[in-house]
Chain A
Amino acid sequence: MDAKELRKYFPILHQEVNGHPLVYLDNGATSQKPIQVIEAMDKYYKEYNSNVHRGVHTLGSLATDGYEGAREKVRAFINAREAAEVVFTRGTTSAVNTVAYGYARAVLKPGDEIVTTVVEHHANFIPWQQAAKATGATFKFIPLAEDGTVTLDAVRDTITDNTKIVAIHHISNVLGDTTPIKEIAQIAHQHGALLFVDGAQGAPHKKIDVQDLDCDFYAFSAHKMAGPTGVGVLYGKREVLERVEPMEFGGEMIDFVELYDSTWKELPWKFEGGTPIIAGAIGLGAAIDFLEEIGMDNIERHEKKLVAYAMEQMREIEGMTIYGPQQDRSSLITFNLAGVHPHDLSTVLDSYGIAVRAGHHCAQPLMRWLNVTATARASFYMYNTEDEVDAFVAGLKKTKEYFGNVFS
């Protein structure tokens, strides 16, 4: 895989920001989109825009084929047993809420437990917190190791026979650690609990095999994996998805509508009320084609190499703190530079054309656990290069120098 070669497919990368070539290191927030994805969506709107699942006419069939074809691509991408286990949502957030409302709130009782960690992104935290609050279930946290990682011993010590749902990240958007999903699934299942995996930072960066992981749910967003915003996926095993009630009622999702009751379509459509995100799903399908062409293993290897290369140079900067595990990290590095607030750091880097994220990364409980109010984060993708890492490290050094000067 040649990152430099890949860049030609991403029109946005070829521009200057504040007089410097753009170095985009905010992929954890959203990734850039290749021309193939942009054109696939364009083509739908220009050539076969139509609603799905209803028109008997030609364009209607083409749109339905495009939409359902994208579902099949997702199925193959995560190795689900059948396409019916792939539900299109607005993104990871709405996927979590679909299960938190349609399952957790409907079945949990006082005494039941939802188990999670303080590492979770707010999207995989608040829906469960509120479901626990609404049902009287207990909201429990797996204690973390010193570097913020989740150990199996801690998982075993926390999950009990009262645990009904375990909600956990595949890859943390702050710490970059990868949780042992397969083993956690085993422990959860021994206690009769379901495992919900937030894969927002997993699916874009790693080969996913949901059958091998044996998780009950896996959620992710298209826009973090070279696809468009506004569309995501809720994967669920058929037998568990059948136990989840739909949250949104309306057209597209119904079977029979009577005056005083209605019945739902079968999976996955019972969760897709209203006209779905047709262009978005088609764009996600094109993104998956693009990722498969490069190979997820190649992407993961490239990113890990970049992260290791960056961390090695960052450690040499005095006053640098890198949060989370110090090796074998996925695609992102969260850090602080002593004496420079992350916002200030981000503003100075931006003046050199370097885009990083600063703030709490939608993980306030984790920020408190780390005992910081904010951090900076550089997150990489397949098209980032070692030259860009060098520019980023040089930018960090200049930031430090700049603040050294304004302070003196």
Chain B
Amino acid sequence: MSSLDDLYRRVIMDHYQKPRNRGKLEEAEGLIVNLNNPTCGDSISLSLKVEDGKVTDAKFLGEGCSISMSSASMMTDAVKGKSVEEALELAHRFSELMQGKEIDDSIDLGDIEALSGVAKFPARIKCATLAWKALEQGIKQSGQE
């Protein structure tokens, strides 16, 4: 597999073309985090519903490249139904994945693992981490970390 094919794996393109959890929650239903990457213009608006220490819903709207949008799609899929600790742990794993670190394979990352190729493209790491930064901020805002 060339490094380009490693970057743009089929599952990434699938999330880019058919994003999961696209949309937003009403203000009364959850909280909203708006983040953008000022160097390139990617943006995300993440809606999160955190109840009793659990992420019960996650939706996103945004504009950006295949990496940033597929990452947002995968992230929302992955954290829905997880406890806040589990979600933050995933965010931590993802950050390690982006740094090219060997990760503990006892935790199944599912589709997210497909983004591991991004680590070899330093200019694109910020694209992949945008949605996860929004998640961390949202959990902080919820006051339930």
Interface residues of A (CB under 8 A from B): 341-344, 347-348, 351, 358-360, 364, 367, 373-374, 402, 406-407
Q: Chain B nearest CB: distance from A174 CB in Å?
A: 13
Q: A343-B124, A351-B3 are in contact. Are A406 and B10 (CB under 8 A)?
A: yes
**Please, how many angstroms separate the alpha-carbon atoms of A342 and B39 in the complex?**
13
Could you say which of A344, A373, A407 contacts B43, with CB atoms under 8 Å apart? Answer: A373
CB contacts (< 8 Å) of A402 on chain B: these are: 4, 8
Whether the pair B8, A406 counts as a contact (CB closer than 8 A) is yes
Residues of chain B in range 76-126 having any CB-CB distance to chain A below 8 Å: 121, 123-124
CB closest residue in chain B, given A351? B4
Chain B CB within 10 Å, residue with most, of A344, A360, A364: A344
Interchain CA distance A347-B5 in the complex, whole Å:
12
Q: Please list 17 pairs of residues, one from A and one from B, whose beta carbons are closer than 8 Å in the complex, sorted by A's number.
A: A342-B65, A343-B42, A344-B65, A344-B67, A347-B121, A347-B123, A351-B4, A358-B40, A359-B40, A360-B40, A367-B41, A373-B43, A374-B40, A374-B41, A406-B8, A406-B13, A407-B17
Q: Write the B1-41 contact mask toward A (1 if CB under 8 angstroms, else 0).
A: 01110011010010001000000000000000000000111
**Do A343 and B65 form a contact, CB below 8 Å, given A351-B4, A358-B40, A374-B40?**
yes
- Closest Cβ neighbor of B9 among chain A residues: A406
Residue positions of B touching A, CB distance < 8 A: 2-4, 7-8, 10, 13, 17, 39-43, 63-68, 121, 123-124, 127
Q: Given the complex of chains A and B, what is the CA–CA distance between A407 and B68 in angstroms?
A: 16
In the complex, besides A343-B40, A347-B4, 17 extra interface pairs with C-beta distance below 8 angstroms are: A341-B65, A341-B66, A343-B67, A343-B68, A344-B8, A344-B65, A344-B67, A358-B40, A359-B39, A359-B41, A367-B41, A373-B43, A373-B63, A374-B41, A374-B65, A406-B10, A407-B17
Residues of B within 8 A of A342 (CB): 65
Q: Which residues of chain B are near A348, meaning CB under 8 Å?
A: 4
Q: Is the beta-carbon distance between B123 and A373 smaller than 8 angstroms? A: no
B4 touches A373 (CB 8 A): no
Residues of A contacting B67 with CB < 8 Å?
343-344
How far does the alpha carbon of A341 sit from the alpha carbon of B124 in the complex, in Å? 13
Q: In the complex the two chains form, what is the Cα distance from A359 to B4 in whole Å?
A: 20
Residue from the list A347, A373, A406 in contact with B124, Cβ < 8 A = A347
A16–B19 Cα distance when bound, in Å, is 37
- C-alpha spacing A341/B63, complex, angstroms: 10
| Alpha-carbon distance A405/B45, docked complex (angstroms) | 29
Residues from chain B with a CB closer than 8 A to the CB of A406 are 8, 10, 13
Complex CA gap A135/B47 in Å reads 39
Give the CA-CA distance A367 to B41 in the complex, in Å: 10
By a CB distance below 8 angstroms, the chain A residues around B17 are 407
